[in-house]
A and B are shown apart, each in its own frame.
Chain A
Amino acid sequence: MPAKDIDFMDVDSDSDISLPAEETSRSKGKGKGKAVAKPKKTKGKGKANEQAYTWEASYTRSWDTVQEDAGGNLQGAVEDWMARDRRRRLLAPAGAIRRTIIRHLILLLDLSSSMMDRDMRPTRFDLTLQYAREFITEWFDQNPLGQIGVVGMRAGIGERIGEMSGNPQDILRAIADRHKLEPIGEPSLQNAIEMARSTMSHLPTHSSREILIIFGSLTTCDPGNIHDTLDDCVKNRIRISVVALAAEMKICRELCDKTGGQFGVAMNEGHFKDLMFELVPPPAQNTLSRTPGAGAVNPAADLMMMGFPTRLPDTSPPSLCVCHSELKSEGFLCPRCLAKVCDVPTDCDICGLMIVSSPHLARSYHHLFPVKPYEAVTALVDVSDSTSACHACARILPTTQSTSTAAEGISPFGRYRCPDCHNDFCTECDVFVHDVVHCCPGCGK
């Protein structure tokens, strides 16, 4: 291909040198140059359009990323993926860490014109909306006590799209209508962050304040100095994380570094999702954020008040709720002021008490006491006969080494052992226990 290209290029005099001896060749070059330019003009006019054609974009050869082994099997590739997951889990700190389980997150969506770029399919915008929906569902599943609000940055201003709410349905409804969110204009990080900040300014100290920015643009048009906003965010202990879709911008990296958030640039669609979902588990509580003057003298005894509401059955007489002023029969009664709210968890609109239900609290608990990562069994010397089956699913574990080369953190026998109860588990159960159950069946806790 390159050789062919060279043939097409006219060979001309090398430089601007015009020495007397070269006078003739120079005039010749001139004629040539013009001749080249002409056909171009007619050709160029048709596609002055800034929209790139599909064939101009890069190929996506998803099949190339999967490597087959010598026998044509995909087993090795799949195991690689699992090994990667396992390694990540091993890297995570095992002990109990203080994590904030009452979370407040503002999802900041870039709705500027750069989101119409097609380098992620179908477009950055559609993909972002789709992942945002999945993210919200997953996030509420893992953090039932949290609340999410949505802010968009569009045409130079920050736009409130969804109010801060603990109900996933509300949020999903807010971003359901694609046409209302049509990207336009330039983004303004400062305006949007200021809006998010003001939304969270009233929150108590025990809850986390986080902003997740999905940023597709490479510029920001701010009315003032964004560094002031950044300083305010640091002061208000707001954690900003950014998932950039194009490249690393200094200011984004700075926002994340200074506020203790995460920064990532999406390589492709899958990586984009990974980066977003990394933010689902609650962040470790920032010891730095506890300034001595904040009132909490002893962090260990930092108690907070919560109320468990009385649930009204569907058959109860309809009454007005305090949140929407609608006549409804079902709902929850605040244990302190007996006001009726539609949904939990929430803060009572009348007395400000935090109303949660006990299952919510329990669900949030596993983040604080995670199951310890299982150790990969690499040799069968100390395995007794009794443990020939998986302790969880009772499947017989293989005793011969599998053919694929063992990566770090992968057992050649597909056998993983709990460090506490010393029971062995198969690969699938290992994943299931850590990702879904969050409780070791052997230890029972």
Chain B
Amino acid sequence: MKFFIDNLPIIFPYDRIYPEQYAYMCDLKRTLDATGHCVLEMPSGTGKTVSLLSLIVSYQQFHPTHRKLIYCSRTVPEIEKALTELKRLMEYRISCADTVEEKEKESNFMGLGLTSRKNLCIHPEVSKEKKGKVVDARCRDLTNAAVCEKGRQDPGSVDLCDWHENLGKLDPGSLIPAGIWTLADVLQYGRDNGTCPYFTVRRMMPFVDIIIYSFHYLLDPKVAEQVSKEMSKDAIVVFDEAHNIDNVCIESLSIDLTRPMLDSAARSVGKLGEKIEEIKQTDAAKLQDEYAKLVAGLQDATDDSVDEDAFMTNPLLPDDLLKEAIPGNIRKAEHFVAFLKRFVEYLKTRMRVLHVVAETPLSFLQHLKDITYIERRPLRFCAERLQSMVRTLELQRLDEYASLQKVASFATLVATYEKGFLLILEPFETDNATIPNPIFHFTCLDPSLAIKPVFERFSSVVITSGTISPLDMYPKMLQFTPVVQETYPMTLTRNAFLPLVITRGSDQVAISSRFEVRNDPAVVRNFGSILIEYSKIVPDGIVAFFPSYLYMESIVAAWNDMGILNEVWKNKLIFVETPDANETSIALENYRRACDNGRGAVLLSVARGKVSEGIDFDHNYGRAVLMFGVPYQYTESRILKARLEYLRDAYRIRESEFLGFDAMRNAAQCVGRVLRGKTDWGLMVFADKRFARADKRAKLPRWINQYITETASNLSTDMALTLSKLFMRTISQNPNENQTGISLWTLEDIEKAQAKQKELAIEAEQSREDEEEYGDGGIDDDMLVDFDLDV
């Protein structure tokens, strides 16, 4: 259907539209017009992606400036889903276009998705590699500039990737015909035409209208510099599923070093040294050449390189990038190797310490200088220098140098940033372990650092998710000012989900996962009885979330001893999520099977785990979510403590405020898994007395919160069961009512709503005018005249 928002024609690929989708589009348009940022929360399963895409595409096609859209999603399946949605939309648009020119314009619209080499490689041998890093390295061996040059001059002397070579023969800009290409389409096209899908996408990026890729390509400075450099400033950036964007930001700037990694780095340094000796014997000119280049300055050294095959780029943010030459003491190759050796050895000695150390980058540098005489300035160029050297030496199989690369990035980061970072050395894995397994954390404490360049560079950044409440937290944490900040309710013709807060067991004992009481047998048993009772009355799948793996393990062990698991077994099978991804995916597969064939199953999983983040439990796969306890983070973690302290000092976010916010967004994320659309239904059970508090509930997204009634916010197990039973009977009735007009709008409904809006606006204006009329408070001339006459 086609309709107008203000004067922008929107083409929406379905006959009906949800009211919240319409509202979402209106707000999005407002943001784009104002060229500002926005935070939007819209319930999952209400067609967020399609409304977003259809508005932005309409906007792009309508305005001659053609702002590019950068759409970031979290996982590969989600990227693929968005691309499919986009493809559908464009097909619809083409079929809707009236004139030939318009049709032409629509079919010239181009959209691509980018993912790693591992997913896009079609080289018969390379693509068989299991690890992404190895695929990357082997691909680079076959495609980097030096090898290509050699191969072309002297065919057969080195292995080259045919698919990549074929690509070189086409003119840039027309590697692939216009249109929307999903990842699968690109792969197929590559296979059919003998071209490399990965490089096709990479090289086409300046020419496309919409690019869809993962968060990291924009947030991680190591990757962003390579991939997203050419994006124009007026591009529209969308972060979908952005509820923990702050964690992604922090991760992208944090580095953990372990002892095996340092050992491997030391070996790599040795290998580098040998290689240099070798080169010196055979081709001393090469090293001399590099040296000369480095003297000339960093900028020139990087400019002529093809950045596609860069082994690593500077982990620094663009504005911190240095514009000066590499210092003299690491210009010579052998000097640099010695420098690295010293630095690695220093880190190794630091790791021998058996007590926890937390220090700022400044004190670390001071100590480093005292012991090894390594200055701050050369350290900053470590990453840059390593890259240049790797290029000069034409090393193969770069994945073996991964640890060294990490160490170099670490050196550069630690020497560059003073604020917002902390170094923590933890010699033991857990508090009561006796065998040291030291980890050196270099953690970023400030999520706004990584995202700052994005906000500064792009005029419109849209942050959206199903669960992003409370909305004002994100602008505070990420340091930006949104133009629009909105959350939408969910319009439903029937209450498709029932949130219940259980605060006490049937025996009236308060239940809580608070640390002091969580292992109390009474609490454990009450949690168990909730599981048993719900396994009896809920059909098909139940997903239960625990705050942590540790707690899940202890509680499941206790349940086993109490015979609770045997009780549950009578009604449903039990599956457990483990930290191991493979095990979990097998468990998930079997869980799905059990839900499909009617046996029914319970999945015990962990908030913040893989299951809670990326996996949907739609329809029969999740008829109920049980949230055992409030999923607070592990507060004893030193990294978290440091982060909390930083947030308090820098942004005045109180510790408890942040922890509460973080716990509730994870809880919302977990329970949100169960409802993936308007035909879906499910129960949401919050089992902890702390959920009953108003301040906790207020942090839940509005679309969940609006359905928590006063009676359902403080229940005992048996009361909750009665309500659940009733709900389940009611919701199982065949849905035959017509949703049109209430939760589904046709074109007329939209026009009606718009007319109403206009009326309201006019009314508001009128009332303002009225006020103005009476504003002067005097008596009209006419009235005065009348008054006179009367007398």
Taking Cβ atoms with an 8 Å cutoff, the residues of A that contact B are 2, 5-6, 8-10, 12-19, 26, 29-30, 33-34, 36-37, 40-41, 43-44, 47, 50, 52, 56-58, 114, 119, 186, 189, 218-222, 225-227, 244, 246-252, 263-267
Q: Would A41 and B510 be within 8 Å (CB), given that A2-B710, A17-B655, A247-B539 are in contact? A: no
How far is B728's CA from A8's CA once the two chains are assembled, in angstroms?
30
List residues 613-661 of chain B with CB under 8 A from any CB of chain A: 619-620, 623, 630, 632, 635-636, 655-656, 659-660
Name the distance in Å between B520's Cβ and chain A's nearest Cβ.
5
Contact code string B716-752 (vs A, CB < 8 Å = 1, else 0): 0010001001101111111000000000000000000
Q: Would A219 and B516 be within 8 Å (CB), given that A36-B509, A58-B722 are in contact? A: no
Query: Contact: A30 with B516, CB < 8 Å?
Result: yes
Q: Specify which of A14, A19, A40, A189 is in contact with B598 (CB 8 Å cutoff).
A: A189
Q: Specify which of B600, B636, B714 is in contact with A2 (CB 8 Å cutoff).
A: B714
Query: Contact: A15 with B659, CB < 8 Å?
Result: yes
Name the distance in Å between A257's Cβ and chain B's nearest Cβ.
11
- The segment from B482-490, B521-529, B670-678 found at the interface with A is B521-529
Residue of A nearest to B540 (CB): A250
Query: Contact: B659 with A17, CB < 8 Å?
Result: yes
Which residues of chain B come closer than 8 Å to A219, judged between CB atoms?
571-572, 598-600
Residue of A nearest to B515 (CB): A16
Which residues of chain A come closer than 8 Å to B522, judged between CB atoms?
37, 40-41, 44
Which residues of chain B come closer than 8 Å to A19, judged between CB atoms?
655
Query: Contact: B509 with A251, CB < 8 Å?
Result: no
Query: Contact: B636 with A18, CB < 8 Å?
Result: yes
Query: Contact: B729 with A247, CB < 8 Å?
Result: yes
Contact code string B485-526 (vs A, CB < 8 Å = 1, else 0): 000000000000000000111111110101111001111010
Flag whether B222 is at the interface (Cβ < 8 A): no
Residue of B nearest to A249 (CB): B539
Residue of A nearest to B630 (CB): A15
Query: Contact: B517 with A33, CB < 8 Å?
Result: yes
Which residues of chain B come closer than 8 Å to A47, judged between CB atoms?
506-507
Flag whether B597 is at the interface (Cβ < 8 A): yes
Q: Specify which of B504, B619, B714, B733 is in contact with A265 (CB 8 Å cutoff).
A: B733
Name the distance in Å between B681's Cβ and chain A's nearest Cβ.
9
Residue of B nearest to A59 (CB): B722
Flag whether B278 is at the interface (Cβ < 8 A): no
Flag whether B386 is at the interface (Cβ < 8 A): no
Flag whether B711 is at the interface (Cβ < 8 A): yes
Query: Contact: B510 with A5, CB < 8 Å?
Result: no
Which residues of chain B come closer than 8 Å to A16, judged between CB atoms?
514-515, 632, 635
How far is B536's CA from A246's CA once the two chains are assembled, in angstroms?
10
Q: Specify which of B623, B690, B730, B733 is in contact with A15 (CB 8 Å cutoff).
A: B690
Q: Specify which of B503, B514, B623 is in contact with A12 (CB 8 Å cutoff).
A: B514
Residue of B nearest to A55 (CB): B718
Of A36, A37, A40, A222, which is in contact with the most chain B CB atoms at under 10 Å from its CB?
A40
Residue of A nearest to B517 (CB): A33
Which residues of chain B come closer than 8 Å to A12, judged between CB atoms?
512, 514
Q: Would A14 and B660 be within 8 Å (CB), given that A37-B523, A58-B722 are in contact? A: yes
Which residues of chain B come closer than 8 Å to A17, judged between CB atoms?
632, 635, 655-656, 659
Name the distance in Å between A34's Cβ and chain B's nearest Cβ.
7
Query: Contact: B718 with A250, CB < 8 Å?
Result: no
Additional 12 contacts, C-beta under 8 A, given A15-B656, A29-B514, A56-B506: A8-B508, A15-B632, A17-B655, A18-B636, A37-B520, A219-B572, A225-B597, A227-B597, A247-B537, A248-B539, A250-B596, A264-B733
Q: Specify which of A114, A119, A247, A263 is in contact with B538 (CB 8 Å cutoff).
A: A247
Q: List 11 A-B contacts (CB under 8 A).
A: A12-B512, A15-B690, A18-B635, A33-B514, A37-B517, A44-B525, A50-B567, A246-B728, A247-B729, A263-B734, A267-B733
Which residues of chain B come closer than 8 Å to A34, judged between CB atoms?
517, 520
How far is B536's CA from A367's CA once the two chains are assembled, in angstroms?
41
Name the distance in Å between A174's Cβ and chain B's nearest Cβ.
27
Flag whether B531 is at the interface (Cβ < 8 A): no
Query: Contact: A265 with B729, CB < 8 Å?
Result: yes
Name the distance in Å between A290's Cβ and chain B's nearest Cβ.
27
Query: Contact: A10 with B525, CB < 8 Å?
Result: no
Name the distance in Å between A244's Cβ and chain B's nearest Cβ.
7
How far is B543's CA from A55's CA once the two chains are assembled, in angstroms?
29
